[in-house]
Amino acid sequence: MHTREQALAVLYSAEQLCSAAFVSAAVARVAEEITTRLGERYPVVLSVMGGAIVFAGQLLPQLRFPLDLDYIHATRYRNTTQGQDIAWKVMPKEDIKGRVVLVVDDILDEGHTLAAVRAKLLEMGVAEFYCAVLAVKDTGQPKPIQADFVGLTVPNRYVFGYGMDVKGMWRNLPEIYALKE
């Protein structure tokens, strides 16, 4: 557990990459792109907890078409800054077989978590898989999956805010920050 002072020290030493207005505009653009592509469908939207909670919470009210909403919880970070093996905390429900599924996640980093989510959902029989991410990290390396809908691109640094955390802190920020290198 961190103290308030430790959390503030992390924030004050970080660099803001994206303003709240910039992030909000990116979410609105993603909502328009999703509506254009899936608005005539009846998808199941699966929010990946806990990072996608802010993105999903801002995105969903802008999707003005019928959809079902559920969540899954798969993680590699477990409140650390280094990825580990994938841990499934909440699996997808069985009623997604034959459905169009849109997975909403916070960031496409190396892509291992989202690729594992896609593999699991396809194994469970989804008809079509789409994914929307708030951010794609420019790692300079190939990823095992590409997002269908992307809000913004961030540099290859540890980023936080707007649902993304740094050691469990600062998911609640409306901006996106990066730790100092």
Of residues 109, 138, 148, 165, which has the active-site annotation?
109
| DSSP code per residue over 36-70 | HHHTTS-PEEEEETTTTHHHHHHHGGG--S--EEE
Give CA 106 to chain center in angstroms.
2
Return the H-helix or E-strand segment holding 138: strand 128-138
- Residue 138 known to be catalytic: no
CA dist., res. 170 & res. 37, Å (int): 32
DSSP state of 93: P
Kindly list the catalytic residues: 109
